[in-house]
Structure 1
Amino acid sequence: MIETGAGRMPAYTETLPRVADSVHRGRRLVCLALDVWGLTGVQDDAELVVSELLTNAVLHARRGDSVRASVTRLGEGRVRVAVVDLSKDRPAPRDAGGDEESGRGLEIVGTLTGGQWGVDLLPWGKRVWATLGLEAKPDE
């Protein structure tokens, strides 16, 4: 359980080595959590988002040997995927050229989450998070 502004929420977390192989392990973590919660409808998008966030941490967070991946159930049909690393450098979307093989990760995250992603600076680094799933319905 993780304490959030909305109270204690169920969560799965795992500390992973800051290596490329950890991306696969992060995807498995998300898959397991969503399967347990019965939220398989967001599974593909959530796995892709955690892949992009972990890849960024592995490639660009030049401090520390580990990262922490988490998936938190926020409520009916909604989850938050997050990656914590020891770098305080904020990730920034960039315009990748048509023939570039990388540089589109945050654009993908933004598209899959409807822009619901962000960065929380921490005393020791940062948390990059993204929220996926059903939107709260406005009062009718």
Structure 2
Amino acid sequence: MEAAAVGPQRYSDGYAPRATAPSRARRDVTLCLHTWGLDHLVDDAALIVSELVTNAVRHTGTRRVGVSVTRHPDRVRIVVTDTSRTVPAIAPPDTDTEAHAESGRGLRLVDRLATDWGSERLRTGKRIWAELATEEAPR
């Protein structure tokens, strides 16, 4: 007899939109993945959550940033929520301005690191999600 699955493992927390929110979210997601034995995902997940939380803090005027990590059998999903309904867009890579070159890189980074990502408008704001495959790629 095998034990029945009760559903995916999940961690979630919320952060005030302060400069410390990205580092706190990185720390919490890192601890969560270490606890689940998914150490090989820590670096990419930490960068992803940092970029998404930083965007929420800098660009949305949100009152609260939510972060959740859900472990599925084949993937980990990172979700960041905020109260802005404006969905993010990847900045074109050919912009010349120094200010634009400094911002807009985060979503390109998320796009490169994540297996898949996207965003959804909610009644109360939006959700941005990114997934990482749980199986290590062969080297």
User: TM over 0.5: same fold?
Assistant: yes
* 1:59 alignment counterpart: 58
- Structure 1: distance between partners of 2:58 and 2:127: 15
Q: In the alignment, what sits opposite 1:108?
A: 109
Check whether the contact 1:95–1:104 (CA below 8 A) recurs between aligned residues: no
Q: CA deviation at 1:123?
A: 1.0
Residues 74-113 of structure 1: matches in 2 within 5 Å?
74-76=72-74, 78-96=75-93, 97=95, 99=98, 100-113=101-114
Normalised to the residue count of structure 1, the TM-score between the two structures is 0.83
Equivalent position amino acid for 2:47 in 1 = L
Alpha-carbon contact 2:73-2:134 (below 8 Å) kept: no
TM-score, scaled to structure 2: 0.84
Pairwise CA RMSD: 1.8
Alpha-carbon distance in 1 for matches of 2:72, 2:126: 20
Gaps of 5+ in 1: 1-6, 136-140
- Corresponding residue for 1:69? 67
Match of 2:3 in 1: none
Are 1:13 and 1:68, in contact at CA under 8 Å, matched by a contact in 2?
yes
Shift of 1:12: 0.8
Moved more, 93-102 or 28-37: 93-102
Q: Distance in 2 between matches of 1:42 and 1:35?
A: 9
Stretches of structure 2 that go unaligned for 5 or more consecutive residues are 1-5
Quote the Cα distance in structure 1 between the aligned partners of 2:122 and 2:7: 20
Instruction: Give distance in 2, aligned partners of 1:120 and 1:103.
Output: 19
Larger proportion of strand: 1
Instruction: Give deviations 1:61-105, integer Å, cap 9, x for gaps.
Output: 12x3211011110114x2111100000000000025465222111
Deviant stretches of 4+, over 6 Å: none
- Between the two proteins, what is the percent identity of the paired residues? 44
Check the 8 A contact 1:61/1:87 in 2, yes or no. yes
